[in-house]
Every structure is written in C-alpha cells, then in structure tokens.
Amino acid sequence: MNVSATDCFHCGLPNPPDTNYQTAVFDNIETMCCPGCLAVTEAIVEHGLTDYYKFRTAPAAKAEDGLEEQAILEQLSIFDAAELQADFVADEGQLKSVQLTLEGITCAACGWLIERHLSKVAGISQNSVNVSTARAMVKWDPTQISLSEILKQFAAIGYTARPFSAEEHEQIFQEQHKRFIKQLGLAGLMTMQVMMLSFGFYFDWLGNIDETMAEYFHWISLVLTTPVVFYSGSTFYLGAIRALLARGVNMDLPVSIAILGTYFAGIKAVIIGDGDVYFESICMFVFFLLSSRFLEHRARYQATEIASNSMQYIPLSAHLIQANQNTEIVLAKQLKPNQTVLVKAGDTIPVDGVIIEGTSFIEESMLTGEFVPVSKAPGEKVFGGTLNQAQPLQIMVTQTLEESLVNKIARLQESAMSHKPKVAQMADQLSQYFVFAVLFISTVTFFTWTYFGNDNAFWITVSILIATCPCALGLATPSALTTAMARLQKAGVLIKRADTLERITKVNHIVFDKTGTLTTGAFSIAHTWYADETHKNLIDSIVASIEQFSEHPIARAFECSHPISVKDVKVVINQGILGEFEGALYRIGNAKFMPCAIPNHILNATVFVSKNEQIIAAYWLTDALKVHTTDVVSALADAYSLSIISGDAAKHVSEIAETLNIKEAHHGCRPEDKLSILTELQSSKKVVMMLGDGINDAPVLAQADVAVTVGNASDFTKHSTDVILLQEHLAQLPLLTALAAKTKRTIKQNFMWALGYNVLVLPFAIMGVLTPWQAALGMSLSSLIVVYNSARLLRFRQHN
C-alpha cells in the first residue's frame, strides 16, 4: 500500500498546499492533510503500532479534525447513563460487555490496529474486531474505565464506534448459522470416514475381505453414520414434521423417508448379517442437502447483518437549562413538557417544542423533503429531528420524545412495512406438487415390485427417493441469489433481503423522490438575465461578495472566486440581503424584497438584484442533478414507466421532470400523501420500485414493492429499504435491474436442469437399474452443475 508523496500519509486524500502536519513514521518524515490525521498517526506511532501502515491494503478514513472531535467527545459522555446502557450493555459478573458498530474500517489491518490499541488500555479485559461485519466486542471493568472512555480510545486512532443492539431475529439467525456449520462439519468428516471404508468394498482394495471383516466394517460404518443421521439430519425431520402439522408436505418429507428408511434397513441388515448396507450414501446425501440449505441460510443471514448495522443506537441528547441557568447534557427521551432546552447552531432539535428565545433558520428536510430552511421566531413550533442552522435557540418542550412527530412517522413506516404485498413463493408451490408426485410414484413402484416378488423392492424405492431428491432443485434458487448478491456488492449495491432480486424482475413502474435522490439538494444557477449585459461580470462578483455574508443555502450557489469589498451588509430574514458598493445600494432577494416593480418576463426568477431602486439582474436557480442521473433515467425509460413524487414546490419539480423527460410528477407531498399516491399505483396493478433518501420517504419506501435508497440517505430510511446503493448517484441502477433479470434466467435454467435430470433418471430408478449409491452420486453431480451455472453470475457484465 503506497501513498504518493503529495497525498496524506494516513488517509490518502490530497494534501492541501503548504501543509506542515508532519511526523516520523518508519524513520521517514511523512506529511498529513489535517491536524486530525496527524493526531491519529502520532497516536499510532506512539503506541508502537506502525505495522498497521506496513500491511494495510487500503488507506484509512479521514480523521475528524479538532473542533468536530471535541463536539463528538462531549456527546460521548451520554453513553455512561445507566438507564441508556440497560438497552445494549450486558453484565457479566464484575465485567460488562458491549457490541459496537465501527465506521472507518477499510481493511484487515484496521482490525489488528484496534485490537492492539485496546489491549493496552487499562480496564479493557477482552476485545475482538470482526472486519467483514465492521463490528467489535469489548469487555471491560466498569470500576477502572467508563464506556465513553472506551469510545474515545476508538476515536484516538481514527475510528467511530457506537453501541448498537442487534435485532432479535439476527440473534436467532446467528444461532441457526452456527448449528448449520456444526451439522455440516460433522456430516463432512463422517462422510469421509464412511466413504473410506466402503471404497474398500467397491474396489476390493483390501484384497479378499472375509465375512468377519465385512461385518466389522459395517458395524464401524453404523457407529459413524448414527450421529450424521440424528444430529446433522435433524433439520429435515423437524422440517417434515412442521409441514405435516401444518397439513402440508414439503421437500423434507421424501428426504426424511429416504434417510431413515435406508438407515433402519441398514441396522437390520447389520444385525441379522444379511442384506444391503448403504451408510455411505446416507452420509453423502445428508452432506450435499445440508450444503444447499446452508448456502440459502447464509445469504439471508448476511442480508440481516447488513440491515442491523445501519440500526446504530444513537440516542439524541439535549442541553437542558436548569433553574440556576446552568446547562446539563441529558437524554432526549428524559425530557418532559415545560422544560427548557438550549439548541446550539448546527445542532439537531431533540424534541417537539415552541421557541421562547431566538430567531433562526430551521432545516426541516427530514419532514418535508425540502432543503430550503424555514425561518422561525419565538412562539413558533419546531419539530424534533429538524436541524437548527443559524442562531442558538431556547425551546420549551411541548411533547415527550415518545409523542413527537418523528416517532409518529416511524410508526407509519412500521405499519406500512407490515402491509407490504407479498409475492407468492413459486418454488414452494412447485415443490408441493413435486413431492406428492415422488411419494406417489415410489409407493406404486414399491407395491408393484413386491407384487411381482422382487426382493429388491425396498432398495428400488429408496433409489427413487434419492435419485429424485430435490437437492439440485433446492440449490437452484439460493446459489443463484447468493452469487448475484456478491456480484452486486462488488459494484456497491447492497441487497438486504434475498427475495428482492426476484421482485425486481416484476417491477414495471419506478418512482423517484426528487431532492437528494435525483438531485444533490444543493442549488446552482440555471440561467441569468441582466438589464445591461456589459456589466455582467461586475454584477456577478458584487452579488457573490454580498452573498458571502449569508448562511442561506441559496447563497452557496454563488461562487465567490475574487471577493471585492462591499460595505454595510445586512441580512433580512426570509427576504434577502443588502449591501453597499461604490456608494450604490444593492438589494438581493426575492420579489417582495425589491423596492420597485419587476418586469413581467422575469417574474418567475428565483433571485432578483436591484441597484438604487432599479432591477439590474435576475437569477434562476435549480437544484443540480446528480452525476449520471440523466443517463440512468433515459436508460430506464425504455423498460419502465417513471414518475416523481416530491415534497418540493411545483416549480422545481416540473423543471426537473421536464429535463429528465418524466411525464408524471407530483409535488408538495407530505409523507402520508406520498404513501397514498403509491398505494393508488399499486392498486392499479403496478409493481412499484421506489427510490428515496429522506426520513419523509421512509413510510412510502416501506410500502413500495422494492425500495431503494442512495448512499446519502439517513440511517432511519435505510432501515425500511430492500436495496442500498452505496454511492450517492444512481449509476448502478441499470446493473441492478439487468442482473436481476439475468438471475431469474439462471434460476430458470437451474430448475430446468434439476427437474430434467430427475425426470430422466426416474425410469432407471423405477426399473431397478440404479443402486442407491449410484443415485446418490448422480444427485451430487447434478448439484455441482447447478452451482457452477450460478457461479457464472459472478462474472456478469452489462452490455454496452
């Protein structure tokens, strides 16, 4: 891992010119890009952990700089609150342990770095880092060190660690996962042993095996096979019993009959010393079947892990103003109505309340999807979760966190999720008929052969059950889905639920949110008008210089490369900004702010400029489209009907819709409006894929047939989606749809092969040509072919 000399030694980002953040690493002087990276590098060198730089395979994440870090460390103390810890900390006698999610892990060396660093901290008795899931487990002695101190140790070497509590179903998944590994390992080891013994029979490797030795081998095989039948195979019997209790049949039933039938017939043969023994076939059969179940389970397990990681436990904190005017950091959920809290500029408002002191701009994008902040004065309502952008505010709490608007949206999201339309499981229905057919054919065969007096009737029946074993059939779907998910993960697309890919192929309508999904949410100048074109450049730089004094997001659209000196700049909240240049008064703002009438042809501009009572320029601003948006939308337009549902004003929405050539556009929608538009689409036989990012999109995403979020979406939103695009743009969306279609084709091919093989081999089994071990071998080969076919998806490339 080499970092070029002009880039930061720690994080690999380009160094700004004239930096002198330097320290010695491996006897060389290395340059860092910021004080944050410098502090982290120094901490690593100081603790003798420089090996990290030697063996890492990717540069580290950029460290937080001093001020940001200070603010973060202040917030950490909140994690020491006992009532908060009750949710995610486990007591283990004298010690406590916690699960943390980590941000900033880039390669395996990070895991080593963290473990080594923490092992030197007094009070931490055990810690382990899991790089692939980006999680850590820490056990500590609460009398020596506090949880917030531990989190600070992570920050010192450049990682962000936050406690989280794994979802309940993930824990169940993990237990099943471990049981599968054990069952599979046992079956694998035993299969090898039993195979070894039976190969002696197959090929006469031990010379002439006499009667006693054959009997001895059979007894040994029986001993080795027993744990496989009763431990590894238990999954199938339990599955079969569950299906029978629910008055149905599933693939587990013929499997169970074949395994137990062969096993008990084998015992009988060993005891009376006469008859066929097929213990090695049982072991191999169980092993291959379990492999397919394991693959399927792992695909689902990975998906839940990804989902859980985004559920970080971030408690909202608040600065409570006490009776003696001191402030104290408390948990937002402890706040009660009529208490007063201080919200600093740049902080999130913790709960719903009323402003009692201060005037500020509040960004309510999480509720409305609208990035333009709203100005709020004393007496006006503010909502928990919104962002205070400009001035410190004192707020009187009116609702507890439980009753706040954010939690109401969360409940809307939950109820939408539970009403999601379910796609019927085709494979399950298919297997019902298949199993009935198999059971019917084998029963008929058994009685027919018995009627004709064939001694081998039982073994022929077992051969049928094994030969038609739905092992390859069972592998057909999970193996294809797992490889497709791995392929997408490489491209930066995370699939949270395995069945999502199947649903994507059914989608015929795509709905986009505007701000933050199609566009960046930042303003840029679309076009301009000047009263006198010759002064164009001068006006531009005057406007940019004055706008520099404003915090309003619109001001950021005006790029100021060469500031000129303007005087007496004053911000008028909700209207605009004014300033003086060379004795003339300039006013920049909306139509209400202009001192004179505005010519009709520029009336629809966003920002006007006047000089001494005369309009001299107008600017039309738009929300800039993200890179690749145009290409992606035009590529999708061929196959899908598209629409936009946005919380933004009509003017902005229709502009974007026109640029992208999207016919259907809804504007000014609140979360519940979005939800009802979507349900309407669904009731008119549309299968809808929804792309969104904000918290206001969460309920509608939960309702959509397939929900996709982009990388800049809030964690809350990511929770209710099926697909997460890790990048902020939509470039991988066509790959997602193409690969979903390809995966469906692969699954079909797999089904055809598996069924074809089973049907082909059935006559041979019925005629009694096929012995059980041949049937087991053929079934294994058939499974391998299916797995190979699925693996081809890993190399999938999109055309053009």
Partner 1 sequence: MNIIYVLIPIAIIIVAVAIVAFFWAVKNNQFEDLERQGHSILFDDDVTPSPKSEQHKRD
Nearer to partner 1, 368 or 482 (CB): 482
34, 224, 240, 555: which one contacts partner 1 (CB under 8 A)?
224
Residue with tokens 């073994």: 459
- Name the one range near partner 1 by CB under 8 A: 9-17, 108-116, 261-269, 554-562: 108-116
Nearer to partner 1, 217 or 751 (CB): 217
Question: Total residues contacting partner 1 (rule CB under 8 A)?
Answer: 40
Nearer to partner 1, 48 or 756 (CB): 48
- Nearest-CA neighbor of 49 among 21, 79, 25? 25
Nearer to partner 1, 181 or 784 (CB): 181
Alpha-carbon torsion 510, 514, 519, 520, what sign?
Answer: negative
At residue 492, what is the residue type? Answer: G
109, 472, 704, 725: which one contacts partner 1 (CB under 8 A)?
109
Kindly report the backbone phi and psi dihedral angles of residue 233, in degrees, each rounded to the nearest multiple of 5, phi listed first: -80, -10
Q: Which helix (H) or strand (E) holds 643?
A: strand 641-645
Question: Rounded CA gap, 386 and 380, in Å?
Answer: 14
Question: Rounded CA gap, 174 and 304, in Å?
Answer: 10
* Cβ atoms of residues 435 and 253 within 8 Å: yes
- Closest approach of partner 1 to the CB of residue 264, in Å: 22
- Closest approach of partner 1 to the CB of residue 491, in Å: 19
Q: Which of residues 769-798 bind partner 1 (CB under 8 A)?
A: none
Nearer to partner 1, 221 or 790 (CB): 221
Q: Does residue 190 bind partner 1 (CB under 8 A)?
A: yes
CA distances from 351 to 77, 339, 341, 697 (A): 20, 11, 9, 20
67, 90, 223, 241: which one contacts partner 1 (CB under 8 A)?
223
Question: Rounded CA gap, 460 and 450, in Å?
Answer: 11
Collect all residues with Cβ–Cβ distance below 8 Å to 101 and sequence separation of at least 6. 134, 135, 161, 162, 164, 309, 312
* Cβ atoms of residues 36 and 56 within 8 Å: no
- Closest approach of partner 1 to the CB of residue 274, in Å: 22
- Name the one range near partner 1 by CB under 8 A: 185-193, 257-265, 268-276, 451-459: 185-193
206, 759, 781, 784: which one contacts partner 1 (CB under 8 A)?
206
Q: Does residue 238 bind partner 1 (CB under 8 A)?
A: no
* Cβ atoms of residues 80 and 58 within 8 Å: no
Question: Rounded CA gap, 546 and 386, in Å?
Answer: 28
Q: Does residue 26 bind partner 1 (CB under 8 A)?
A: yes
Q: Does residue 583 bind partner 1 (CB under 8 A)?
A: no
* Cβ atoms of residues 395 and 319 within 8 Å: no
Nearer to partner 1, 221 or 750 (CB): 221
Q: Which of residues 126-145 bind partner 1 (CB under 8 A)?
A: 128-133
Collect all residues with Cβ–Cβ distance below 8 Å to 629 and sequence separation of at least 6. 518, 519, 660, 729, 730
Strands 706-709 and 393-397: unpaired
- Closest approach of partner 1 to the CB of residue 135, in Å: 9
- Closest approach of partner 1 to the CB of residue 230, in Å: 14
Nearer to partner 1, 221 or 696 (CB): 221
85, 106, 112, 791: which one contacts partner 1 (CB under 8 A)?
112
Nearer to partner 1, 27 or 455 (CB): 27
Q: Does residue 264 bind partner 1 (CB under 8 A)?
A: no
- Closest approach of partner 1 to the CB of residue 301, in Å: 11
Q: Does residue 108 bind partner 1 (CB under 8 A)?
A: yes
Three-state DSSP at 697 gives helix
- Nearest-CA neighbor of 236 among 290, 174, 300, 187? 290
CA distances from 147 to 80, 161, 637 (A): 6, 11, 52
Question: Rounded CA gap, 260 and 579, in Å?
Answer: 90
**CB atoms inside a 10 Å sphere around CB 381:** 12
* Cβ atoms of residues 392 and 347 within 8 Å: no
- Per-residue x/- track, 41-80, partner 1 (CB under 8 A): ----xx-xxxx--xx-------------------------
Q: Does residue 23 bind partner 1 (CB under 8 A)?
A: yes
Nearer to partner 1, 45 or 331 (CB): 45
Q: Does residue 97 bind partner 1 (CB under 8 A)?
A: no
Q: Does residue 545 bind partner 1 (CB under 8 A)?
A: no
- Closest approach of partner 1 to the CB of residue 58, in Å: 12
The 723-725 sheet, strands edge to edge: 493-495, 723-725, 706-709, 688-692, 509-512, 641-645, 664-666
Q: Does residue 216 bind partner 1 (CB under 8 A)?
A: yes
Q: Does residue 453 bind partner 1 (CB under 8 A)?
A: no
- Name the one range near partner 1 by CB under 8 A: 8-16, 17-25, 245-253, 553-561: 17-25
Question: Rounded CA gap, 637 and 622, in Å?
Answer: 23
Q: Does residue 199 bind partner 1 (CB under 8 A)?
A: no
Q: Does residue 185 bind partner 1 (CB under 8 A)?
A: yes
- Closest approach of partner 1 to the CB of residue 255, in Å: 23
Nearer to partner 1, 112 or 530 (CB): 112
Provide long-range contacts, Cβ within 8 A and 24+ apart, for 659-662: 659/625, 659/630, 660/518, 660/625, 660/629, 660/630, 660/633, 660/634, 661/633, 661/634, 661/637, 662/512, 662/633, 662/637
- Nearest-CA neighbor of 383 among 408, 409, 413, 349? 349
73, 220, 417, 441: which one contacts partner 1 (CB under 8 A)?
220
The residues binding partner 1 (CB under 8 A) are 23-27, 45-46, 48-51, 54-55, 108-109, 111-112, 116, 128-133, 178, 181-182, 185-186, 189-190, 193, 197, 206-207, 213, 216, 220, 223-224
